[in-house]
Amino acid sequence: MPPRTPPAPYRLKTNPAVPPMARAASIALGLMRAAGVTRWAEMGDVLPAAVELADEEYRLLVDHIEILSFLRLQSRLEDGTRAPTVTVAVCPECGEWVLISSGPAPNRCEMTRGCAGKPVKAVVATKEQPTRQAAA
């Protein structure tokens, strides 16, 4: 039987219109899912080989490293219950953020008095489908 070839690397799809911190959290959650871990600390020093990150995506992770340890993907606990996903909601107006779990982002900013912004929830980045290139 011929050796199995590893799957082709893929990119993570995120929303470029969200605040940078929300995008960093989205990328981190996508990497955690690709690695099969539930917490950033379980990632170790190596990113999943199957995922290709652009320089900008690496910079986002480095620039927002302080929030990554708070993120968690949904998991099943030993007693059979589920621990919810923990992510961030970031206000695009004032830049403040709050941890949230498996629910919607707040309808209005509650982190800064008088701020009229509507926080954006960071969701798990999805696998971007590769584009097929024509054979040469």
Distance, CA of 30 to CA of 40 (rounded, Å): 11
Closest by CA position to 61, among listed 20, 101, 91: 20
The 10s digit of each residue's pLDDT in 55-73 is 999 999 999 999 999 999 9
pTM score of the predicted model: 0.85
Distance, CA of 136 to CA of 81 (rounded, Å): 52
Distance, CA of 85 to CA of 70 (rounded, Å): 10
C-alpha radius of gyration, the chain, whole number: 17
Spell out the domain ranges in the chain.
Answer: 12-126
85 pLDDT higher than 70: yes
